Amino acid sequence: MELNKIYNEDCLHGMKRIPDASIDLIVTDPPYFLGLTHNGQKGSFIDLAISRPFFDALFQEYKRVLKPDACVFFFCDWRGYAFYYPIFDAILGASNLLVWDKISAPGSKYSYSHELLIFHAPASVNKGGSSIFRVPGFSSGAKKVEGEKVHPTQKPLALIRQLVEAHSEVGDTVLDTFMGSGTTAIACMELQRNFVGYELDIKNFKIAQKRVFNM
């Protein structure tokens, strides 16, 4: 396994090359619409059943590659949380539900101004502050300091940097199994952490390569 590289492949296949107990932190933002509608409406959990084996296998791999004192930040939203939580908790153990407050966002039935993070921390970890991260999203200020939004669910660099800095040290290795536009990699490079990333979608992979490596 080569560090500081984004792999254009299925993360379940790629993670087989990661040694046991070698990852210091996982920060990842999976696609939110597996089995759900794209128009903001709640889908059927029966539809989601087809993806359960994937997440069972994914979280088992997380458990295998994590160091004993490593944490996991797994993004989701209000539609997917009830699906992810019991799988995540049974395999990794959920320590808390965190909230990213985007400050403002559109929405007709109250605003879509927050997203959720399922958080795992082992018993040995006893640090952290508020469970709410108030960082502007791209609709409320991030674009002014981070430039163009190049991915539909792109997270602000300020948010990912905060997570990486709080739960890893210089020289540690951070894993992102759904790299998207490469924000986790950029945060790691700025903070002198190593990273391993996977992005299956070729369009997003090329976007990440350009943002991270100028390729």
Q: What is the pLDDT of residues 10-57, one digit of tens each?
A: 999 999 999 999 999 999 999 875 544 444 455 566 666 778 899 999
CATH class of residue range 5-213:
alpha beta
Q: Which residue has the tokens 């997570």?
A: 163
Q: Taking the CB of residue 16, how many other CB atoms lie within 10 A of it?
A: 11
DSSP string, the chain: --SSEEE-S-HHHHGGGSPTT-EEEEEE---S-TTS-SSS----HHHHGGGHHHHHHHHHHHHHHEEEEEEEEEEE-TTTHHHHHHHHHHHT---EEEEEE-S----SSS---EEEEEEE--TT------SEEE---TTTTHHHHH----STTPPPHHHHHHHHHHS--TT-EEEESS-TTSHHHHHHHHTT-EEEEE---HHHHHHHHHHHH--
Q: What percent of the chain has pLDDT over 90?
A: 68
In sign, the C-alpha dihedral spanning 204, 208, 211, 214 is negative
Nearest to 194 by CA among 163, 168, 159: 168
Per-domain residue ranges for the chain? Answer: 5-213
The angle at the Cα of 82, spanning 21 to 208, to the nearest 5 degrees, equals 55
Looking at residue 144, its pLDDT comes to 55
Residue 154 — very low, low, confident or very high, per pLDDT cuts 50/70/90? confident
Please state, in angstroms and as integers, the Cα–Cα distance from residue 22 to each residue in 11, 46, 64, 199, following that order: 16, 35, 9, 20
Asked if 15 contacts 59 with a C-beta cutoff of 8 angstroms, the reply is no
Most confident listed range (41-55, 146-160, 177-191): 177-191
Q: What is the pLDDT of residues 79-121, one digit of tens each?
A: 889 889 999 999 999 999 999 999 877 777 788 889 999 999 9
Look at residue 38 in the predicted model and tell me its pLDDT.
Answer: 46
Q: What is the pLDDT of residue 63?
A: 98
pLDDT at 45: 60
pLDDT of residue 11: 97
> How high is the mean pLDDT of the chain?
88
* pLDDT score for 99: 97
